[in-house]
């Protein structure tokens, strides 16, 4: 499982980090972001890469889980 903390980063950096992680073909990848735009962009990228996505929100942070 890959885990990424992308809080404090603005797009496209969270997407780039997610792409690098998904290029390794993990069964699951988790990415933590702190804004809705990053959540939407990383979700879109993961789904286009063939992953199922879900997320949870805690205060202003979002934890996106992408799994095969």
Handedness of CA 36, 45, 56, 26 (dihedral sign): negative
Write down the pLDDT at residue 68. Answer: 95
| CA pair distance 68, 61, nearest whole angstrom | 23
Residues 13-66: pLDDT tens digits?
A: 999 999 999 999 999 999 999 999 999 999 999 999 999 999 999 999 999 999
Report all structural domains of the chain as residue ranges with CATH numbers, in order of start. Answer: 2-67 (3.30.110.40)
Q: Which of 43, 38, 47, 50 is nearest to 9 (CA)?
A: 38
Q: Give the per-residue pLDDT at 19.
A: 98
Q: What pLDDT score was predicted for residue 54?
A: 98
Total-model pTM: 0.95
- At residue 20, the pLDDT reads 98
Tokens at 35, concatenated: 């804004």
Q: pLDDT at position 62, please?
A: 98
């Amino acid at each position: 499982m890959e885990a990424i903390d992308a809080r404090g980063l603005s797009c496209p950096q969270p997407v780039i980090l997610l792409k690098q992680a998904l290029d390794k073909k993990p069964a699951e990848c988790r990415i933590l972001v702190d804004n809705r735009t990053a959540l939407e962009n990383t979700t879109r990228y993961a789904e286009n890469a063939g992953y199922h996505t879900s997320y949870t929100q805690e205060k202003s942070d979002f934890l996106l889980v992408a799994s095969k």
